[in-house]
Amino acid sequence: MKCIIIDDEPHARETLEDYLSKIEDVEVAGVFKDPVAAMEYVQHNTTDLIFTDITMPEMSGISFLRSLESPPLVVFITAHPDYAVEGFELDALDYIMKPYPFPRLLKAVNKAREVLDQQPARGSANQYMKIKDRNKTLLLKYSDIHYFEGMKDYVRIINNDKTIIAMYTMKELEKILPSSTFIRVQKSFIINIDMIKSVDKIKVFLKQDNREIPIGLQYKDAFFKRLEII
């Protein structure tokens, strides 16, 4: 897992880097004193996880996250609890308060591992989504999934033979699912492109039961461009 550290306090950077060096399979690929210095690195290098402070002189961690078009997983580490709600609204993976013990950081890293484990490996033929169900793990083949419907705190996964409920946000799904197969067409819907039967200006019609999925205005241009529809 490649991660970077962003913090304007030298002691905070050193402590975090020391903690991360103790965790197996975690590589600190870069340490930066401000988000501006980190931005170019993130844009040109593969980064799995960012640990960042929030209140920094040139740019806040919140503004930095907002500036990234496709941000990796982000954990905020800060002495200020006031930004917690805003951080989670931006789908930050975790929010850690300074000072923090090593086990608290390890918990955040393990949470990141769970999310990254869902993502298909580059060049891998393993095209399955893993869903935890109590004491077992379900393996759903991507090609069998018709669409995902967001239901506030969870999603409905419409599969070939049944509907499955899972605890995901739509933003989390966008990071996990292969973009070659799935596309978000509305605030509450991500669909399997191979399941599309036809489209009109405002709806997608799926092959199964001619199901209609609305096309959201903010997703319309990207969706039509993806299908090469002018």
Q: Which of 55, 87, 118 is the last residue of a domain?
A: 118
Rounded distance between C-alpha atoms, residue 95 and residue 71, angstroms = 16
Predicted TM-score (pTM) above 0.75: no
Q: Which of 54, 86, 118 is the last residue of a domain?
A: 118
Residue 51: domain span: 2-118
Q: What is the pLDDT of residues 62-117, one digit of tens each?
A: 888 888 877 889 999 988 877 666 766 677 889 999 999 999 999 999 999 888 87
- pLDDT band (50, 70, 90) for residue 125: very low
Cα-based distances in Å from 89 to 37, 56, 84: 25, 20, 9
For residue 123, being part of any structural domain is answered with no
Residue 98 and residue 155 in one domain: no
The answer to whether the beta carbons of residues 62 and 86 sit under 8 Å apart is yes
User: What's the farthest any 2 CA atoms get from each other in the chain?
Assistant: 60
Residue 4: burial class (beta carbons within 10 Å; 0-12, 13-18, 19+): buried
Q: Report the domain count for the chain.
A: 2
Residue 114 and residue 64 in one domain: yes
Residue 90 and residue 141 in one domain: no
Residue 144 and residue 184 in one domain: yes
- pLDDT band (50, 70, 90) for residue 230: low
